Each structure stands twice: as structure tokens, then as C-alpha cells.
Amino acid sequence: MTSVVLQSLADAYMSIGTLVFALAGTGIWLFRIFGERISAPLSDRPGLGPLFGAAATLPPGCIGVLAVARLYSSGRVTYGTLLAAFLATMGDSAWLLLATHPMLTVGLKAALVLLGVAVGSVVDRLGVLVPAPTLVESASASGTIVPSTLQPGSPSMTSDARALDITTVDTIGLPTAPSERGRWSTGALALVSLAALPLSTAVAVHAVDQDVVAWWWGGPHAYLVLGSVGFALSLVVLWRTSSWRQCGECGTDTRAAWVVGVREASRVTVWAGAAFVIWDLLATTSWFAAVTSSPLTGIVAVVTAALIGLIPACGVELAVAGLFVAGGIPLPGLITYLISQDGSGFIPLALSRPRAAMVTTAMTTAISAVVGTVLLVA
């Protein structure tokens, strides 16, 4: 059993953790640089909002949907933009699916983006409820002094709203300055990830056999050693930095972005490790074969997946993806869940705009059930 657990934890880090490390920091840094430039013109061309919202979720993980939720809460994007992001995001399940089924994941992501843009555009055109607050309302709520020309009722309020210094209200909608706590463990995890990345990449793309590549890094057990050390450091970083609460945290420079990327990798690695261990241990039991031989199918799988999507937790996202990889749910069930789940965007949205959060999660759940049912019938 010990060998099964160690191999599962090593696989979680080598197949997913290093991938998150390579992509998360880059994605956060690029979003910080270009996100403001892209979102600023949306006040002039709101029709592009849903496209922006869906495209913001292209990086795997929760950074995109969290950023759009913050932008909506500050009154800078339309509700259709928010809904497009919620429909298009794959959350942390994208990491596991990308590592195990890369081509399928790309296809699913493209379909979700198209769905998000289409539904978001229709919602904006129909003028569905849940309008975002104005910049003036957001500024007043945050204690920012609003010029008299921008007060409600002022003739120049609408035309001059953009004159308000929006940087005092909200920048790109991402928290800043990662905590210095856990600095040494974060640095150690970054170094191990850099060392493990070539090995994990070669194995992931099946370029060479795992045992052959491992010899380049010190022997046949290099994969297991690097994976185990990486997972242990991920656990330490998660404990030291409480990074499960920092998904989407972003600084203003390259170093801060990569620090957050490493901490994001630690969070996903630990969740993935737990899922891997559970599944691998279950696979050793006698009744597991009987359960997986008759997995959830038909309308039961669709309804179950849609309801599970109501649970706002990164661990659930990885668990459902792992269930699909293990053959526990069919593809329509996975697609239903991906549409229903919120990519960790529900909780921060509910704290600032509870009505919008409830309406959004109800809409995504209903849409997911419809799409899943259509896929079953087709």
C-alpha cells in the first residue's frame, strides 16, 4: 500500500503539478500585463464583453473567471461577460484533463468558449437582469471620493464616468502582493519544479520511456524521488501560505506572478494527489471493478453531474475529472459538469454580488442539464 500511495503522489506532482507551475505563472503574468489593456475599451464596445469573458478563461485553472468576477463586481463589464466566463471555464479540472487527454481537452475548451460567447451575447442583447454596479457606486462603496459631476442625477454623470480614476476602484480585479510567508518553501518548490519539468514533459508527451529518461536524472528512481519531493514541498507550501485562499492572487511584477504560480501549483498538486491516492487505493479493492463496470450512464449521469457542479470546490473539480479518466462517468456527464461548475468563481462573486451569483449558478446548471440531455439524445 505504501508503494501505491507514493507512486500516486509522485504522479500527481509530475503529471499535473509541474504543468501548473509552467503555465500558471506565465498566465497570471500575461493576464496582469494585457488584461487591463483589453478590458478598458469594453466600456466603448460592450458587445465584445462576452468574447473577453470567455477568452479570459483560456488559461487552465481559476485565474480567468476570478478576474472577470472581480471586474463585474466593480462595474466594468456586462453581465453577459460574467456569464460567458462562468460557462467557458473548466476550473482546475483542466489540469488533469490536459495531462491525460490533451486533444479532447482542447476540443472541449473550444466548445465551451463558443457556448459562453453565444449565451453571453444573447443575455446582453436581451438585457437580462443582474446589471453590474456603476463605477460611481463601486467607488462610493469602497470609500473613494466621487466628484460632484459624477453624482447620481448629474447631467454629466454618464459621459464623465470614465473620468473617474478607476485604479482607485479596482485595477484588473486581481489581489496583489503575495504573502512573504513560506518564502523558502516556495523557492525550494520552484527549483524542484524546474528540475522535474523536462522529465515530466518528456513522459507526458510519450517522447521516451519514463525509465529511460529517469537515467538522465540520477537513476531509475528519479521520477519517483522528484515526484515525492515535489509533492512534499507542495504540501508544505500549501500549509505555510494558505494558498487555497489565494487562487487568482497576482502581483505587479514577474517575480510576484511566478510566486503565485508556484503556490497555485502546490494547491492543485495536493488536491490532485488526494484524488490520485483515493482512486488508486480503490482500484486495489475487489468491489471497485464491479462499480466501474457499471458506471453512471444516461440521464442519471447528466443530472448527477449538473448537481455536483453546484459544489464550489477545486477538489471536486479534480475528483470529477479523475472519475471521467477512470471511466466512472461518460463524456456527456463530464461536459454537463464542466458547464455547471463555476471554476471557483461563485464564492468571491457571492460575497460581493450575491444576487448575481445565485442567478448565474442557476443559469449554468440549467444550461448544463439541457446540453447534457441533448448530447445523450444525439
- All structural domains of the chain with their residue ranges: 183-285
pLDDT-based confidence at 248, cuts 50/70/90? very low
- Does residue 66 surpass a pLDDT of 70? yes
Residue 285: left if φ>0, alpha if ψ -120 to 50, beta else—which one?
beta
What average pLDDT does range 93-114 have in this prediction? Answer: 91
- Does residue 138 surpass a pLDDT of 50? no
45 and 79 Cβ atoms separated by less than 8 Å: no
Q: What pLDDT, on a 0 to 100 scale, did the predictor assign at position 345? A: 80
Considering only CA atoms, which of 165, 279, 187 is closest in space to residue 236? 187
Residue type, 161: A
Residue type, 1: M
* Set of cell numbers at residue 128: 437580462
**Alpha helices (H) in 74-165, listed in sequence order:** 79-88, 93-100, 102-126, 135-141, 157-160
pLDDT-based confidence at 130, cuts 50/70/90? low
pTM: 0.65
Instruction: Produce one character per residue of 232-271: b if its CB has 16 or more CB atoms within 10 Å, e if not.
Output: bbbbbbbebbebbebbbbbbeeeebbbbbbbbbbbbbbbb
Q: What pLDDT, on a 0 to 100 scale, did the predictor assign at position 370? A: 94
- Give the model confidence (pLDDT) of 261-274 as tens digits: 788 788 878 877 88
- Does residue 357 surpass a pLDDT of 80? yes
What average pLDDT does range 144-170 have in this prediction? Answer: 38
- Does residue 304 surpass a pLDDT of 60? yes
Share of the chain above pLDDT 70, in %: 67
Query: Please, what is the average pLDDT of the chain?
Result: 74
SS3 of residue 19 by DSSP: helix
Q: What pLDDT, on a 0 to 100 scale, did the predictor assign at position 249? A: 44
